[in-house]
Chains A and B, each alone.
Chain A
Amino acid sequence: MNKKILMTGNEAFAKGALDAGCRFYAGYPITPQNELPAYMALNMPEAGGVFIQAESEISAVNMVFGASAAGVRSMTSSSSPGISLKQEGISYLAGAELPSVIINVMRAGPGLGNIWPSQSDYFQATRSAGHGDSHCIVLAPSTVQESYDIMFLAFDLADKYRNPVMILGDGLLGQMMEPVLFTNHQLSVAAGGPATGDQKPETKLWALTGCKGRKRNIAKSFYLREGDLEKLNILLQKKYQEIQEKEERFEGVNLDNAELVLVGYGTMARIAKSAMQRLREENYNIGLIRPITLWPFPKKVFERYATGDKRLIFLAVEMSYGQMVDDVKLSLNGRFPVDFIGRSGGGVVSEEDIIAKVKGLLSTKKRNE
């Protein structure tokens, strides 16, 4: 279909998931992501899948554990307080190596906070999947179109690495309406798509289907015997390392001649991009790095600058009080100054805020030269 359809980010997540072969969804209502389960409730039955409104976020994520263990592409979604409740379950998913997708349409905290957009759950999402030495792959779309498209990638990565994938959106992205083209993504083999070239049909041999004609399968994360858990952890760490090597994704704009690089993801990247364009009209050389994978963080693009000899300023822009900025600093390893601008709790950094900050930073730089 080549027609563009106007929809919210939340609906685009749901539609993308269904088109990517998701056949199990469980969730518990929380604003600002309620359009997502509503879309699932309406459209999942037609896709031949299962929708369940669970009794809590905890139950929902554990339902995803069950459906995924049974071999079905499955997902849940929530917003910040609900994601906190899911964290134990996400850690179990990582420990049992069950592919799954978890969407966090972030709202402002701490506590109940409010329903305004925010990016304050970056640490929670990127540092570990929950308790224990585990990781989610974390993706951050910045438009409604990308929210649709990224679901294919999310389920493919989940299956490829047998790992939970978290998508970090925010209330603005979830609620905003934009036209979406349902691009004809080639369905991956794991999603029931055709096996082409040297791809072999990927059946989930580990899934619980009943032990007919094979040895029993067990989905578990419990390893009591001395040494066993350490063995699992070493395997997991190898996997995480492979993901870090292969799966970094980012969008880079005007990086070659920039003297200041804005860094932002999701909604903030859009605002930063607009600010960048206006600044460039005034002849400021501004670039932008928009991380698409937040874990693995796209370190390599920063490392490239960290080894060159051009002086650059980096400015991280977030709807938080400074979380992603830590990864920027880690990636640059002290080579360049990293500045930060951010708000959270209802406020959103505006184009004007960014422009003023950039001009301030560049004039200080000039004075010091």
Chain B
Amino acid sequence: MNKSFVRPKSLVDVSTHYCPGCGHGIAHRLVAEVVDELDIREKVIGVTPIGCAVVAYDYWDFDCSEAAHGRALAVATAIKRVRPENIVFTYQGDGDLAAIGTNETIHAANRGENLTVVFINNAIYGMTGGQMAPTTLLKQKTATTPLGREIKYHGYPLKISEMLAVLQGVKYIERVSLQSPQAVLNAKKALKHAFENQINNVGFSLVEILSPCPTYWGMSPRQAMDWVRDVMSKEFPVGRIK
């Protein structure tokens, strides 16, 4: 009998540190599957962020570099420029990519660096204990918005993907979600496209993944998945942005 669901070669056989119901594990696996399917494991270089996913390099079985908080796209830019034959991607949370690292994000995109960006939007800062992220929804309670996010004090959820889409250097942006098995399959398709773009020298490609954080949303894993579907994706509609 053939096994149809096996561990991708690009995934190390260890258990992760992620909380039950966290989306990072799913997203890691999707990246690993795509890397395997495109047969690029031996030339891919991942850049991991500061955030819950900092140790993704313990889970992926290929070369990786850490980057200081927010600087993944600066690190990735340099790696790709000096090693254009390698396939270089960043994997970043919303705090990393859209708050402290906004400058690096915008300018790498605007330079049209031939990179693939995996952007995990979980509407919160996971690693530091559930503070407001730029993508936190209005009314969403976090450690630093105990009464919920308010426009008056905190502004609106930041739609960085839409912002980046107006830049001429950006070739592909799609927002996907992990809310259901079907959505996960779509997410994988988008990731594959973003990696293929780099292989074909198309240019800067980003996939935003709406991803659950049950722990800091104060929900069960199941509730968190439903919240992605019913609430989060109303604010951040899934689909091709560019």
A contact residues vs B (CB 8 Å cutoff): 23-24, 26, 50, 52, 54-56, 58-60, 62-67, 69-72, 74, 88-89, 92, 96, 208-213, 216-222, 224
Contact of A222 among B42, B66, B78, B86 (CB under 8 A): B66
Chain B interface size band reads: 20 to 34
Interface pair A218/B57, CB less than 8 Å apart = yes
- Residues on the B chain within 8 Å of A218, using CB: 57, 63-66
B77 at the interface (CB under 8 A from A): yes
Q: How far is the CB of B18 from chain A (nearest CB, A)?
A: 14
For the complex, give the distance between the alpha carbons of A123 and B54 in Å: 32
Contact of B66 among A55, A213, A216, A221 (CB under 8 A): A221
- Residues on the A chain within 8 Å of B98, using CB: none
* A59-B104, A210-B63, A212-B43 known; A67-B79 Cβ under 8 A: yes
B228 at the interface (CB under 8 A from A): no
B103 at the interface (CB under 8 A from A): yes
Query: What is the predominant secondary structure among interface residues of chain B facing chain A?
Result: mixed
For the complex, give the distance between the alpha carbons of A334 and B103 in Å: 50
Contact of B55 among A24, A26, A60, A222 (CB under 8 A): A222
* A66-B47, A67-B82 known; A209-B63 Cβ under 8 A: yes
* A58-B71, A62-B68, A65-B68 known; A50-B86 Cβ under 8 A: no
Interface pair A26/B82, CB less than 8 Å apart = no
Q: How far is the CB of A207 from chain B (nearest CB, A)?
A: 9
For the complex, give the distance between the alpha carbons of A142 and B106 in Å: 40
B36 at the interface (CB under 8 A from A): no
Interface pair A69/B71, CB less than 8 Å apart = no
Interface pair A211/B42, CB less than 8 Å apart = yes
Q: How far is the CB of B44 from chain A (nearest CB, A)?
A: 7
Interface pair A66/B65, CB less than 8 Å apart = yes
Interface pair B78/A208, CB less than 8 Å apart = no
Interface pair A50/B81, CB less than 8 Å apart = yes
Q: How far is the CB of B42 from chain A (nearest CB, A)?
A: 4
B45-74 vs A, CB cutoff 8 Å, 1 = contact: the mask equals 101000000110100111111111001001
Interface pair B63/A52, CB less than 8 Å apart = no
For the complex, give the distance between the alpha carbons of A86 and B210 in Å: 33
B7 at the interface (CB under 8 A from A): no
What are 30 A-B contacts defined by CB distance under 8 Å?
Answer: A50-B81, A59-B74, A59-B103, A59-B104, A60-B74, A62-B71, A65-B74, A66-B47, A66-B67, A66-B77, A66-B78, A66-B79, A67-B78, A67-B82, A69-B65, A70-B78, A70-B83, A71-B82, A88-B68, A89-B68, A209-B63, A209-B83, A210-B42, A210-B62, A212-B43, A216-B57, A218-B57, A219-B64, A220-B64, A224-B55
For the complex, give the distance between the alpha carbons of A217 and B57 in Å: 9
B176 at the interface (CB under 8 A from A): no
Interface pair A55/B104, CB less than 8 Å apart = yes
- Residues on the A chain within 8 Å of B45, using CB: 70, 208, 210
- Residues on the B chain within 8 Å of A209, using CB: 63, 83, 86
For the complex, give the distance between the alpha carbons of A153 and B233 in Å: 56
